[in-house]
Structure 1
């Protein structure tokens, strides 16, 4: 199912300015905050040195630059989210898409590597690995798209055959070529899946209710014992 949406509705669903969810996404972990704080400190020191070199005549300029640099740790997530939103909004057309989860599995990905030396003086490469949820979504028209995100405990509820809904973006009015997709809503479990919260989720839920009146029976029955996905014991969600 694919329903074209107006540009006005598209603008409501995908804002140009960062939302609270998007700000929290780019706020990141403690390590991300400390990295931004370090950049703020270094930049602040650089502005202070520049003020000493340039003299009092440039005080208004150095004060402004110092304020911006000193608060980098605070405004950087907003800037990153706004930039990502603008990139998505370059698409001219959008549509509400509803299909199903065709496949679901977990992969173990290397997110970073670090070189260190062990007790014997040997160079060792340490890999930082993280488990990711992978979904393949599709519909009866033959449209298929993958989505990947960091694995969370709630993801264990997702099954093959679950309904999936999202916003699809295109530069073609007939949506015949999809350039990108938003985060995905799984109504069977009231879960959101995606690497970035593009959508105003309350607005998206209002849109789906208007487009799908009386379709609560759309869910396909399935055996309760059906596993979430095929995985080895090493990929068990409960294992840390």
Structure 2
């Protein structure tokens, strides 16, 4: 099932300014905070030198303003990063509410980064950082399928093939004939979200989901018979 969304509803679902969960996502771990803090300190130093040797006392207010903005980068940096990501999705002119089902779910171990260090012999050693991630494939009766990866959580144990799955899809075509992007996946039966980055205003999305659930002309999808055998091969997270 695919229901077009008005531009107003879409902009409520994905706001321009970062939400709380989006800010927390880009806040990151302690190491990422230290990187932003180091950038803030460097900016303050550069701005101070620029003010003393280039701008002079007459334009000291500019130095002060730039110093404050740069010194607080550690605080507003996550807002900026999340807002840029939101804007990259909001540039699509058309969107729709999609409802299908879980086709497959399994766990993989993915490489998420590398670190270089030196061992006791003075040799350079590359350490691979790997993370167990959930892979969930969803689809509908039209044959549309897509897959999303997300960090594995304990709550993901409740996910099973055949469960209803919902999300917002984005397109450059008015009839939504070709899907360009999609957002977080919501499983209403378990009240569970699956995503890496929280694109949606989740409370508002749940309201839209409930409105469509109880609409007489928008029933929940029936289980396709041809996918029964495929589900038996699914692996639990």
Q: Same fold (TM over 0.5)?
A: yes
Give the whole-Å Cα distance in 2 for the aligned partners of 1:181 and 1:80. 19
Where do residues 202-213 of structure 1 align in structure 2 (5 Å cutoff)?
Answer: 202-213=203-214
Give the whole-Å Cα distance in 2 for the aligned partners of 1:38 and 1:92. 39
Where do residues 92-107 of structure 1 align in structure 2 (5 Å cutoff)?
Answer: 92-107=93-108
Secondary structure at the aligned position of 1:59 is classed as helix
Identify unmatched segments of 5+ residues in structure 1: 221-225, 232-236
- Runs of 4+ aligned residues of structure 1 deviating over 4 Å after TM superposition are 214-220, 226-229
Q: 1:194 to 1:228 in 2, by over 3 A?
A: farther
8 A Cα contact 1:157 1:228, kept in partner: no
Deviations 1:62-85 (A, max 9, x none): 111101110001111111111111
8 A Cα contact 2:43 2:70, kept in partner: yes
* Residue 181, structure 1, aligned to residue 182, structure 2: yes
**Residue correspondences, number:** 227
Secondary structure at the aligned position of 1:156 is classed as helix
Q: 1:175 to 1:219 in 2, by over 3 A?
A: closer
Deviations 1:147-179 (A, max 9, x none): 011111211211111111000111111100011
Number of the residue aligned with 2:228? none
Number of the residue aligned with 2:24? 24
Give the whole-Å Cα distance in 2 for the aligned partners of 1:219 and 1:153. 28
Q: 1:124: Cα distance to partner?
A: 2.3
Q: 1:111 to 1:146 in 2, by over 3 A?
A: same
Secondary structure at the aligned position of 1:15 is classed as coil
Give the whole-Å Cα distance in 2 for the aligned partners of 1:228 and 1:133. 16
Q: Which moves more between the two structures, 197-206 or 118-127?
A: 118-127
Number of the residue aligned with 2:154? 153
Q: Which moves more between the two structures, 119-128 or 178-187?
A: 119-128
CA RMSD of aligned residues (A): 2.2
Identify unmatched segments of 5+ residues in structure 2: 224-230
Q: 1:95 to 1:216 in 2, by over 3 A?
A: closer
Number of the residue aligned with 1:230? 235
Number of the residue aligned with 1:234? none
